[in-house]
Amino acid sequence: MKQLTIQSSQRNYPIVMEAGLRFRLKKWLNKDYSSILVITDDQIADKYLQDVVDSLDQKNIYTSIVPSGEASKNIEQYYKLQSKAIESGLDRKSLIIALGGGVIGDLGGFVAATFMRGIDFVQMPTTILAHDSSVGGKVAINHESGKNLIGCFYPPAAVLYDTETLTSLPYREVRSGYAEILKEGLISDISLAEELLPLSLKQISSVQLENHLEAGIKVKAMIVEEDEKESGVRKYLNLGHTLGHALEATLGYGKVTHGEAVANGMLFALHVSEKVKEQQLPFNELYNWMKINEYPIIDIKEKSISELIKSMKSDKKSISGHIQMVLLNKVGEPAVENLDDSSVEAYIKTFIERMNKL
């Protein structure tokens, strides 16, 4: 078992990682709740919902199952869950448990944050990717115009990570999650980045996975403790996300996984960093890592550039119409840069050329 504590302005909360944790949930709830609503998706429900309900061992447990996938992070599902909470008689002393990946954590968390002005919620991530989104208190739903545009900062009461639920992840999900772990290495943990870059994800042991998760969460925790509301260093966590989000939005959510889009976004961020900072960065190493591990290398077309730029400008980080990107001075040393449209356009063009030569 591994345990960390995150300090937030509203409360401190534990992150617990343990194989089989879903059978011992009661132990980690430090309050008596009048009722509990477990929110999960239709893929996770079959595998783990009953275990969770059983281990809570109390009356007034309700469950709500939403379709799996990013499309569920919308206003309709949000309102349905609010209705479910009301119909089930949840009150201010109730708990919501978000059992699933980042979609469920973000959606369930935003419901909890705004149900009767906020009730407790517990994150139970079931993907590697969600190690990132479950820590730090960001909860949100999507708007047609962009991801996570509607949401708030609302720390969970606990993050309870049953690492056993990761063993059955499809390889594509492993890949998606590792992009965020690599990101954490690139911005703040050189040895983690150096360990990951030559690694084939298909050959990772469960011990390695737990260690990588812990290292990634430590980076995330350190950053969100320093800057909970993303006015400063928290922005560094967006390395690869400016183009990444735009790729997800323009390709259509679900075509590539979040991590696959972020990996491509990081490659672009390293390209821009080399240009802006005039430094040698592990561009080729990242490219090779993506190849070894079968990340799709997204073939950006010249004609899609204007659409990508429009999408990048609608990003929450964008201020006064500039595009904000996280760049690296070197590995472990990120910096935020505001770029105008024409510079970004030029960088995308040279990026396309560079990729065509590889």
Supply the residues annotated as catalytic.
117, 138, 180, 220, 230, 234, 238, 241, 245, 258
The reply to whether 340 sits near a copy of itself by the rule CB under 8 A is no
In 3D space, the residue among 160, 22, 38, 158 whose CA is nearest the CA of residue 108 turns out to be 38
- Residues 176, 257 contacting (CB under 8 angstroms): yes
The reply to whether 320 sits near a copy of itself by the rule CB under 8 A is yes
Q: Are strands 61-66 and 158-162 parallel, antiparallel or unpaired?
A: unpaired
**Count of residues that interact with a copy of itself, criterion CB under 8 A:** 40
Token digits of residue 296: 């799709």
The one among 92, 202, 255, 349 contacting a copy of itself by CB under 8 A? 92
d(CA 224, CA 4): 13
Token digits of residue 102: 């980042």
The reply to whether 145 sits near a copy of itself by the rule CB under 8 A is yes
- Residues 75, 50 contacting (CB under 8 angstroms): no
In 3D space, the residue among 179, 207, 205, 206 whose CA is nearest the CA of residue 193 turns out to be 179
Stretch that binds a copy of itself, among 99-107, 149-157, 202-210, 295-303 (CB under 8 A): 149-157
Q: Is 320 exposed, middle or buried (0-12, 13-18, 19+ CB in 10 A)?
A: exposed
The reply to whether 7 sits near a copy of itself by the rule CB under 8 A is no
Please tell me what DSSP assigns to residue 322: P
131 assigned binding-site residue: no
70 assigned binding-site residue: yes
Token digits of residue 58: 């109390």
The one among 2, 14, 19, 34 contacting a copy of itself by CB under 8 A? 34
We find the least distance from the C-beta atom of residue 17 to a copy of itself, in angstroms, to be 26
255 assigned binding-site residue: no
Stretch that binds a copy of itself, among 159-167, 312-320, 329-337, 339-347 (CB under 8 A): 312-320
Stretch that binds a copy of itself, among 124-132, 148-156, 158-166, 242-250 (CB under 8 A): 148-156
The reply to whether 56 sits near a copy of itself by the rule CB under 8 A is no
Select 207 or 319, whichever has its Cβ closest to a copy of itself.
319
Give the Cβ contact number of residue 111 at 10 Å.
26
d(CA 98, CA 181): 21
Select 141 or 298, whichever has its Cβ closest to a copy of itself.
141
d(CA 165, CA 125): 9
Select 6 or 21, whichever has its Cβ closest to a copy of itself.
6
CA distance readout (Å), 191 to 112, 186, 212, 283: 37, 9, 11, 17
The reply to whether 114 sits near a copy of itself by the rule CB under 8 A is yes
Stretch that binds a copy of itself, among 49-57, 65-73, 135-143, 271-279 (CB under 8 A): 135-143
d(CA 63, CA 41): 10
The one among 14, 42, 68, 91 contacting a copy of itself by CB under 8 A? 91
d(CA 180, CA 87): 37
Site string for a copy of itself, 62-81 (x = CB under 8 A): -------------x---x--
The reply to whether 319 sits near a copy of itself by the rule CB under 8 A is yes
Annotated binding site for NAD(+): 68-73, 102-106, 126-127, 138, 147
Annotated binding site: 68-73, 102-106, 126-127, 138, 147, 180, 241, 258
